[in-house]
Amino acid sequence: MDIKIQQVETSKIESVDFSNLSFGQVFTDHMLVCSYTNGEWESPEIIPYGPMTFEPSARVFHYGQAVFEGMKAYKDDDGDIFLFRPDESIKRLNASSERLAMPALPEEIFHEGLKQLLHLDTEWIKKGFGNSLYLRPFVIATEPAISASPSNDYKFIIICSPAQSYYAGEVRVVVADKFSRAADGGVGYAKAAGNYASQFYPTSLAHKEGYQQIIWTDANTHEYMEEAGTMNIFFRIGDKLITAPTNDRILDGITRKSIIQLAKDNNIDIEVRNIKVSEIREAAEKGELKELFGSGTAAVVNPIKGFKHKDFTYELPELESTYASFFKEKLMNIQYNKSEDVHGWRVKV
């Protein structure tokens, strides 16, 4: 694909302290931009990262037509660049776009655009286990009109941010019994920007109680566990691993489905089924609840140290060997080209 490239005159990379990065606050020299107008996607361009101009009436500001993906690029010891299951990312981006009445992005633009952008900004991808380049592809509605209807114009953009190993500290969560992340028939399964905005307020209330995140429950009854913050969630009762099935409320996490497959590969008993809050409370009371952990692109696997549900609190036991650390190591070894990839998840750029 012929992608027009406008390089920066001087890279800003020398001004970046790669040993002290705040997640998502430093961006590489370039970004990819592709416009949709007159019913078709135009040729993408790679331009210097910087401010963009939109009219105040751009539909994204008024009706929230915005979807995104979260990905990472990794560099192995030989300097080769890899992505992890990028085919799943473009599939999910387009599924999200469809739900918000936005046009599908041609896969060629996504894959080739990423490839050329990563090769151009290759110096921003540092070697070393835990170092990566976080990738944020997104689509926004740009037509200047405030009538309540889908936009006719869109922009697809990819920005990149160098990242280190993500460590959120000790995480304790509140199990939701009032607020909901998503409802049946809604957009919970889509990576729609508004899904995240609606979580900020109840999460801020959890922070005031000394908790870092929320385990979301079903909107109808608040009886069933669904997701943890912005991550899918796994429960270990005894030696059995359990996670909720995806539906139109739950994001089809790429890390989640990879963990499910790795559990099967390693003969770990795993069930994908609905999980009642009462079941988890009962397991905790009996001392059978061994682990809770979230899964997602940024942290890969994030252990949860304790939880609260109404007047019930529980601290997870300290274990010498955990499923959380097992799966994180397995996944990262695949991502960094340190182990065999029998499923073809690792894609060389």
Give tens-digit pLDDT for 37-58: 999 999 999 999 999 999 999 9
pLDDT for the residue 166: 72
With H, G, I as helix, E, B as strand and everything else as coil, classify residue 328.
helix
Cα–Cα distance, 296 to 63 (Å, whole number)? 27
* C-beta separation of 346 from 337 below 8 A: yes
Domains and CATH numbers, the chain: 4-163 (3.30.470.10), 172-335 (3.20.10.10)
CA distances from 340 to 125, 329, 333 (A): 22, 13, 8
Q: Per-residue confidence at 169, pLDDT binned at 50, 70, 90?
A: confident
With H, G, I as helix, E, B as strand and everything else as coil, classify residue 141.
strand
For the chain, percent of residues with pLDDT exceeding 70: 99
* C-beta separation of 141 from 58 below 8 A: yes
Tokens found for residue 342: 């029998």
Q: Per-residue confidence at 168, pLDDT binned at 50, 70, 90?
A: low
Give tens-digit pLDDT for 296-314: 998 899 999 999 999 999 9
Give tens-digit pLDDT for 189-241: 999 999 999 999 999 999 999 999 999 999 999 999 999 888 999 999 999 99
CA distances from 332 to 88, 127, 251 (A): 17, 13, 21
- Segment 55-81 mean pLDDT: 97
Closest Cα partner for 6 from 28, 35, 31, 24?
Answer: 31
- Segment 174-187 mean pLDDT: 93
Lowest mean pLDDT among 131-135, 226-230, 277-281, 297-301: 226-230
Query: Taking the alpha carbons of 136, 228, 321, 242 in that order, is the dihedral positive or negative?
Result: negative
pLDDT for the residue 121: 98
Whether residue 149 is predicted with pLDDT greater than 90 in this model: the reply is yes
* C-beta separation of 47 from 158 below 8 A: no
CA distances from 270 to 145, 235, 244, 287 (A): 49, 10, 11, 19
For the chain, percent of residues with pLDDT exceeding 90: 95
Tokens found for residue 292: 């809770």
Closest Cα partner for 190 from 262, 239, 102, 252?
Answer: 252
Q: Per-residue confidence at 167, pLDDT binned at 50, 70, 90?
A: low
**How would you class 119 by CB atoms within 10 Å of its CB: exposed for 0-12, middle for 13-18, buried for 19 or more?**
exposed
How confident is the prediction for the chain on average, in pLDDT? 96
pTM equals 0.96
